[in-house]
Amino acid sequence: MNLHRKEGAMRAIVQDQYGGTEQLRVADLPDPRPGEGEVLVRVGAAAVDRGTWHVMTGTPLLARLGLGLRTPGPRYRTPGRDFAGTVEAVGPGVPGWAVGDPVHGTADGSLAELVVTSVRRIAHPPADLSTEEAAALPVSGLTAHQAIRGAGVAPGQRVLVVGSSGGVGHLAVQLATAAGATVTAVCGPGAADLARRLGAHHVLDRSRDALDAEGVRYDVVLDIASNRPRRELRGVLTERGTLVCIGTESGGRLTAGLHHSMAAALLSPFVRQRLVMHVSKELGTDLAELDAIVATGAVRPIIDLVAPFEKAATAIDHVAAGKARGKVVVSVSPTG
């Protein structure tokens, strides 16, 4: 791997084909420049998640219609979306931002020393977050925040979070608790203590307990890539409860189970319960909303692993193996 920076070039993790982490390499790429409504950011840290793995491997195959049929398109040659760092330069039409400002958000190819992104995808991170914590928030945090908000979680409601210890789940537990709900977390036996520290009022062991083990019905069920049958998930909802399907990891190489979430959304108009296929939006305004909640101390990203830039493959493999408890972050370059 080339670990030496050239003048006018930045280091980036790149892939020339779809596959596992063995085909990732560090390369020198030309420094990007911001255009209208964009900022150039020196990346301090970048988070990785299951989405990073899906883009790297080109799975499900259906996703290649957008990523590139045979090889990753130019936008996806460098993996990663979350980042935190400092503003290096601003393009025209970018009020409210200046060189040196701390920033976090999303960009195409965040596993690089420099990224260019739209001002509509960034926000000022809470001052008490580390660079790694700020990098951990955007994608998973937006997914959790938008799902909780969209489901209308309110004080006094019962919320079931299936898949509560991963990147999205550990933030969803905290956000639902902060909204005043009574939260039941479903996780593996090794994550039960974490779920309680996050604020879950009750914990179910996914390897042993049925979803109806508490003998109650839930106003909201967040299903985060659990691959449980839709009938089982609906069975623990109240008559007019809301099921939010957030990702899936089964169903073969073609759709990876995406059709299960789509089927739930198509069924929704014909039943009393509300069934939602959640698709998050990378909006700086929503990230700022989330940051305001984080600033109160009610929510905090949990960092499971921080890998150095040259070991980005190790971080991605850790996530792909299902070992992550909270977020996995790659340290890209020092930002102070």
Question: What pLDDT shows up at residue 259?
Answer: 65
Q: What distance in Å separates the CA atoms of residue 286 and residue 147, rounded to the nearest whole number?
A: 12
How many CB atoms neighbour CB 91 within 10 A?
17
Backbone phi, psi, residue 203, to 5°: -130, 130
Q: What is the mean pLDDT of each run of 10 residues along the chain (336 residues)?
A: 62 95 96 97 97 88 83 92 98 95 97 98 97 98 98 98 95 98 95 96 95 96 88 96 82 60 78 91 98 97 97 95 93 72
pTM of the model: 0.92
Q: Among 119, 117, 98, 96, which Cα is nearest to 108's?
A: 117
Residue 184 C-alpha from the chain's centroid? 21
Report residue 281 as tokens.
């939006």
pLDDT, position 247: 73
Best CA proximity match to 243, nearest among 252, 231, 253, 255: 231
Q: Residue 292, class by beta-carbon neighbours within 10 Å (0-12 exposed, 13-18 middle, 19+ buried)?
A: exposed
Q: CA-to-CA distance for 13 and 137, rounded, in angstroms?
A: 21
Count Cβ atoms below 10 Å from residue 258 Cβ, excluding itself: 17
